[in-house]
Every structure is written in structure tokens, then in C-alpha cells.
Structure 1
């Protein structure tokens, strides 16, 4: 099925051709006609399935004829969880819009940088806003923009928005939007909190599920290497040399680990940089640009990089630390094997973390290839200790989302205090 069969206008088809998009993905084939019809949409699609184009192309088409008036007002709002995804979506909208007769004004706004330049850029109004929730509300509070006439709302990576604690901000934003609008809701997973949010926003939505279908299932070779904690960095260096990967994304648990591992790699002659939420936006942007241009071989990142980052042709992802949740595992490895290419995802684990790895496997219904690399074999562990670790992990759920977070406990305590 070609893009021309989906009802898109010639300027958008020209943009698609310029970008060498051959045929639409499963989510694009299903979503574009539904969105063009004006229906609300609930799209469950894994990362890398092409959902940005699935909503951006029909969004631009539906707004033709509504843009260009003076003063400009926000016609469409796209909410995303991270700065990097905001930039990616904003850039994609501009590329798709390049041949449109009515050129939309597109504003991309996010926190972590000064608000003043963004306020200046919004003078004269804008047609489309791509925003992280906190910065959007900051700009509204500064009277820099209004969303009271937005005809379309897109929530992209809705599960991640809630994971990052944006529920209150989203509810406030919804209260500022007009009640009559088209709502497009995209999420890779559908836990209870996401279902509740979707039910409160969508009206008789078209429901699309493409996750795990053969057309979009990424070709990622997944494996796990057992290695003692102290040997992980030497093993990482060994893998870099053995496979000759030009670019690798390494995931760690903390900002401290990102800095430490990157420093150790640099001291061994490997071009590596940390990437985490406490870096300035300018530094994060530079690190990403260097990785994409192969000026950097290794980016050592926290889960701030697990979503919203598209690195074309990334050959490998290494879980130096296991992710806390199944969702994080899915999105981490989803940085490779994108756009029909193959990729490699390797997870390091030890005797202490094997139980956690088993829980991830069980909940994803997969069985990772287990390996031990000669020269990096782990020291033997008494069977009694391994059994105790597994029992403890099974008792408390082992994975984020199966036990209450600190924020949940604080909210429950506050509610209980209010009742008393």
C-alpha cells in the first residue's frame, strides 16, 4: 500500500518522497485515514514503529486552511515526556510541512533551558506547539501563549508521561483546552493509569494495536552476559573491540554511574560521554549530535535516553545496569533495530541480579540467550545465596510498578491525614 492511497494531499506526499519513505508502516496505514476522518484515536505502538509520521502528517493536513491568520493561535498541541522527543517531533513536523502552501508556525518548548528565548519566539503567536508539560504551563502562566482554541491534542508516549510524574500537569492542561477537539493518544504500554487517562480524554476512539505484529517487530538479537559487577567495564571494552561497533548506547542506573563509566572508557582511549538529566540542554544536544555523527563511539546514559531518541543505524544497546521495569527494558532496547534495520541488545547481570533478569523475562514472555565470555566468567556463588535472592525478588515484585513508589506512599499519607 503506497502513501498515496491514504488520502494525503500532494505537498505531504512530496515531503514523504523527499524523505525516501517507501511504504507506510502498519501504524501509519491504519492511523492516517482515521485521523483524517476526524476521529479520536488510541494507538498502542512500540517505539520505532513510525507513529510520529502517523499523527504528524494528518495533523498538518487537517490544519490547512486554519493557519496563517493573524494573530496566530494554537491549533494543535503535542505533549511529550522529554526534551529530546520534543525536538525530534518538532523537527519532523517542519520536514513534513516544507511543501505546504500554508506554512505552519511550529514552536518546540521544553524545560532545562531559559524560558525567555522561548517567550520571545512565541511573540506573534504560533499554530502548533510541541511541549513538555511543565514548560508549557510555565509559558501559559507567563501569558506567552493560550491553548483555549486548540482543535487537536496529541499525547505521545503517554505511559512515559505518567512514569515521569506528569499526571497533575496533564490534568491542568486538559482543563485549559476546549472541550470540543480531536484527541490522539499514543502509548507503547497500557497499564491501569494510562487506561484511566485515555478513558477520560478520548471519545469513541479508533483503537489501533500494532505492537508485536510481524510487520513492525524489530529485528533485535537479545542476549544476557553473566559477569561480576567489578568486571563489567573491562567486559564492555572487550565487546567494543570484538564487535567494532562504531556507535553504542550504554544504559546505567544513575547519573553517577554514567559519569564514572564514561570516564573509565575515556581513560582507556574510547570516545565516550555521559548523558543524563542533570546535564545542560546544550551539552545533551551536543552529545547526541556527536553520537549521530560518529564523532562519539559510546554514550553512557540513564533512562532519560530510553525514549524519544532516534539514532539512525545504531548497532547496539548495552544494559550495563539492568532496568528497573519491564517497560524501561522495552524502550531501552528499542533504540536499536529501528526502521527495518537489525540490532543487538546485551544485558549484563550477576548472581545478585539474576532473579531480577528472570522476572523481566517472565513478564515479557521471552528467554534471553545466556552467555559467559572467556576471561570474564563470574566467581561461583553458593546455591543457597542464589535461592535466597530469587525468593526475595519474588516476594516484593522485583520490578518497579509492582510495589508502591515513594511518591505513592506520600500521596496516601497525605490523603489519610486529610481524612482524619
Structure 2
């Protein structure tokens, strides 16, 4: 067990240039998984490492630093004129393209002061065979790929691993479930790897998939069980509400338009059409959103996440499906400072729920998760609004509750019912119904086409084609202008006679994220609770500073 309390204490393991880059990134103290992985991989016998650590614990940096350190040492002891100088010494296998971009960025960040010595190649980006061959012919020091892409490069002879020192299996619990099982087995047992190399296996959870990979890839590993480490855990408040399929839209409108959730929000749905239905619905009220799903090109998906992290968008409507085996949002993707996760459609498994809500309350921050659960008697009443997976919501939610009771919940006290005054929320119903009528199936179809058209026009890969075929570009640019929905300008504003009854304006001294002033609160229960209107108790609460920063607690 390493007792390093700062990255400076790891100076006996890490090059000064790496320490300087880490300091520039603002990291002073290594997280437990970083401290232990660096100590075990670079110290002593250099054993294989199996690290199980919670989401947001800094696993990427934990394996990137030792991988680069070993490359710097090897090159420092080898003449540049030697045939042994150039070669791929680290192979990073990730389950999705999004994670490949994230890992690439992390490596580039720590290479600020030694970028001329260590070259990185990300071959998970879907580049052409010719470009891939050219990139790998330079023998990059670090290759980042999905297992399927790495195997294709190995079989074609474009990638050679005879100098490999470090093999990393990142998000190992997803690698097999994302359809890479056969490719990974071929890499591990196909004679592509040298006999002597170190393997670092990183995972957020312990599963049968991880156990299978462990048996294939690791030899006498140092096992780091840090999944229950709470040093970086934020305060996560979980809420759920039983609601009809139509009222999902009503509640989301009220929550976002009245800013009952302050800060950035991830809204999870279960299919692509739902992405655009929710997006077009919210646009009726002037709420800017973007969609993130497997239909979009990987570069676009990565750019959307970057723009969200920069604050360009406050709301992302995302699917976490897996159409091509290389897409995933609920796991791994580094969303920054997410204040709330809304499960607009309840996920279909306990595991998916855990990963979704793991996008918030990270790195010591507070966060809120709200889940809509459709009762069986409500399912299918409005078929146009139905999501097939919601048929099993009650059964899935029951399993989630049992799992939380068994594990002691995720970072907080477990999920509690969200209660609100239905009479006050119903005052917004006529606006919700007007907005939903404007979001037709034809509008959704046009929105999807428009999104794809925009991506084509902005595609760098197609730039050369349009230069050679300008008429194709003109056809796209002069195609009919699409108006997926009729925007009603009056819907953008909430009348004053409605606003004060729902939530007061936050005090100037209140935090800008995760808190709404308690001048008036929503009380009661959606399922038969008695509706009240704040009264003396609410006025009394307005004078007291809230102990929690949980925005939805202002409704209880």
C-alpha cells in the first residue's frame, strides 16, 4: 500500500516532465486508484494489476502515467539510431470509440513536455485503411483501439507488438458485453503479444465478464479493490416518481423551464425517436438541447460531449443503447459537472441504472438523479407516447430497490419518492398538451433527417468529395428548408401568475447549482397525496437556510 499523499511523493516512480504536466492539469493529490496502480506497476516486481474502482476515480490517468513512464525509460536507454528505439510499447484497449477519444486526450495532456518523444495513435476513429497503414507505419509508442479494430490491424500486419511492455484493458466489464469477446480472445491467445509484458485491467464493477477476462489476461495480479472507496464520492440524492407516459413530458417541462434543477442535466431515453421527440418538445419552450445517440458519427458524438462540458448546452438527451458495438454514453464518457440525471425512460437493468446515475455526484460534487416509473396500468394508454421498455418499469424498479438495499445505495441514502402538488403542476398541462400536438411523427422524422444532413455538410471526411462534386453540395444546401415543428413564441415564457406558485427565486447568496429557494414549495404526492400550497410552513421555511443542496427536496 503506497502512502503517497501528493503526486510529488511519487517522484521516485514518475519522470519530472510527467509530474509537471499533472500539476498543470490541477491535480495535486493522486486518487487511491492512481496511487496504488502507479506504485504496483512501476515498483517492486512490476506485477499485473487488476483495479476495481468507482466511476470518476481517475482510472485513465492511473494507467496512462505508468505506461508513458515505461516508454520514457525504454527510449532513454536506447540510441535513436537503434532499431529498438521505435516501436509500439503500449496498447490501450477500450470498449467504445468515445472512450478512445477520451483516453487519447488524457495521454496528450500528460505528454505536454515530452510530446516529441512519445507518439500516440488512435485507430478506433474509423479512419481509412490507407491512412491507418500510414499512421501505424510510423510505429507509434502508444496505440489506442477497440479490441475489434486492434485485431484487424494485427491480422493485416499494420500493427506489430513485439516491443510491447504495457497492455491496458480499460472498462473491462464492458469490453465483452459490447461484442468484443472473440476479438479479445484472439488478441490474447493468437501469438500477437510478447511473452513478457505487463497487463493493467481497469474496471468499475466486478462481473462475470471481468472474471473471464482476468483468467485470460492476468498472471498473479495485484488486486486493488477500491470500488467502495468514498474519498471522491459526492452526495447523490436519488428520487423516483410513479407517473403516466404523458406526465413525463409535463414534469420535465416544469423542472427545466422553472429551473428547479440548476446546472447541466443528462436526460436518458431508450430509443432514437424518443431523443428527437423530447428535444422538439422542449424546444417549444425555448429550451436549447442537443441529442446524443448511436446514429450520429463518432466525431460528432465526441464534439457534442465537448460542447456540453464547455457549457454550450445545459441539456443532453441521450440514448445509452449499443447499435454498433462501439457506442456507449452511460459508461465511461467523461461528462463534467453534471448536476442531475433524469431517467425519462427507466433503464432495463439494475446495472444500467447504476451506470446512468454515476454520471452525476462525481469528484466530491453533489448531484441528483430522478427516475420516472410507469405503472403497469398506465402503460400504453397513449400509444404515440409509449416506449416499449416501459411495460416492465415496475418490475425493473423493484429490482433496483432490492439492489440498493443490498449494497447500501450508491453514494447516498438510496432512492426516495418525489412528492409534489399535482394541482400546481396541472396548471401547466394545457401548455404541455399544445407542445406535444406539435411534435408529430413526421416532425420527428424530419428532425432526424435534418440532423444527418447537418452532419454531412460539416463532415471533414466529405470535404474533398464536395470539392470534386460541387453539385452534390448545392443539392444539399438548396434542399427544402425543414421546419420539424411549429414554434409557438408565447410558449417560451412562463406567465407571472404561474411562476411564483411553483418556486421562489433563489437567494443571491445561494449556490448556482443544485439549489432552489424555498419561498414556495410543491407538496403532496402524485399518487393520491394530499395537495397543499405551502401556507405558513412554507413561509417559515423561506427564512431558514436549507441544509441540503438537493433541488428536488424543495418539493417535499
Pairwise same-fold verdict (TM > 0.5): yes
1:216 Cα offset (Å): 3.1
Matches within 5 A, 1:92-111: 92-100=106-114, 103-111=117-125
1:102 Cα offset (Å): 6.2
Rg bigger for which structure? 2
1:277 Cα offset (Å): 1.3
Of 332-341 and 197-206, deviating more is 332-341
Residues 266 and 318 of structure 2 are in contact (CA less than 8 Å); yes or no, is this contact kept in structure 1?
yes
Tell me what 1:406 maps to: none
Unaligned runs of 5+ residues in structure 2 are 321-327, 377-392, 426-524, 529-556
1:113 Cα offset (Å): 5.4
C-alpha distance in 2 between matches for 1:316 and 1:166? 31
1:208 corresponds to 2:224 = yes
Tell me what 1:12 maps to: 18
Tell me what 1:372 maps to: 419
C-alpha distance in 2 between matches for 1:33 and 1:102? 26
- Secondary structure of 1:66's aligned partner: helix
Structure 1 residues 373-399: Cα deviation after superposition (integer angstroms, max 9, x where no partner)? 33366577xxxxxxxxxxxxxxxxxxx
1:332 corresponds to 2:349 = no
1:116 Cα offset (Å): 4.3
C-alpha distance in 1 between matches for 2:278 and 2:128? 30
Q: CA RMSD in A?
A: 2.1
1:23 corresponds to 2:47 = no
1:74 corresponds to 2:88 = yes
Of 243-252 and 203-212, deviating more is 243-252
Q: 1:320 aligns with which of 340, 344, 347?
A: 344
> Do the aligned partners of residues 195 and 244 (structure 1) sit closer, same or farther apart at CA in structure 2, a change above 3 Å counting?
closer
- Secondary structure of 1:243's aligned partner: coil
1:115 Cα offset (Å): 4.7
C-alpha distance in 1 between matches for 2:137 and 2:283? 44
Structure 1 residues 307-357: Cα deviation after superposition (integer angstroms, max 9, x where no partner)? 221122121111111122222222211211222222111111121323311
Count matched residues. Answer: 380
> Do the aligned partners of residues 288 and 102 (structure 1) sit closer, same or farther apart at CA in structure 2, a change above 3 Å counting?
closer
1:177 corresponds to 2:178 = no
1:253 Cα offset (Å): 1.4
Residues 52 and 205 of structure 2 are in contact (CA less than 8 Å); yes or no, is this contact kept in structure 1?
yes
> Do the aligned partners of residues 193 and 64 (structure 1) sit closer, same or farther apart at CA in structure 2, a change above 3 Å counting?
same
C-alpha distance in 1 between matches for 2:29 and 2:202? 21
C-alpha distance in 1 between matches for 2:129 and 2:366? 40
Tell me what 2:236 maps to: 220
Tell me what 1:394 maps to: none
Of 359-368 and 69-78, deviating more is 69-78
Tell me what 2:498 maps to: none
- Secondary structure of 1:235's aligned partner: helix
Unaligned runs of 5+ residues in structure 1 are 381-420
Residues 250 and 298 of structure 1 are in contact (CA less than 8 Å); yes or no, is this contact kept in structure 2?
yes
Tell me what 1:58 maps to: 66
C-alpha distance in 1 between matches for 2:397 and 2:338? 24
Matches within 5 A, 1:236-385: 236-241=252-257, 242-303=259-320, 304-352=328-376, 353-365=393-405, 366=409, 367-375=414-422
Tell me what 1:165 maps to: 179
Structure 1 residues 222-253: Cα deviation after superposition (integer angstroms, max 9, x where no partner)? 21122211111221121113325342111111
Residues 41 and 66 of structure 2 are in contact (CA less than 8 Å); yes or no, is this contact kept in structure 1?
yes
Residues 350 and 396 of structure 2 are in contact (CA less than 8 Å); yes or no, is this contact kept in structure 1?
no
Residues 95 and 178 of structure 2 are in contact (CA less than 8 Å); yes or no, is this contact kept in structure 1?
yes
TM-score (norm 1): 0.85
> Do the aligned partners of residues 214 and 122 (structure 1) sit closer, same or farther apart at CA in structure 2, a change above 3 Å counting?
same
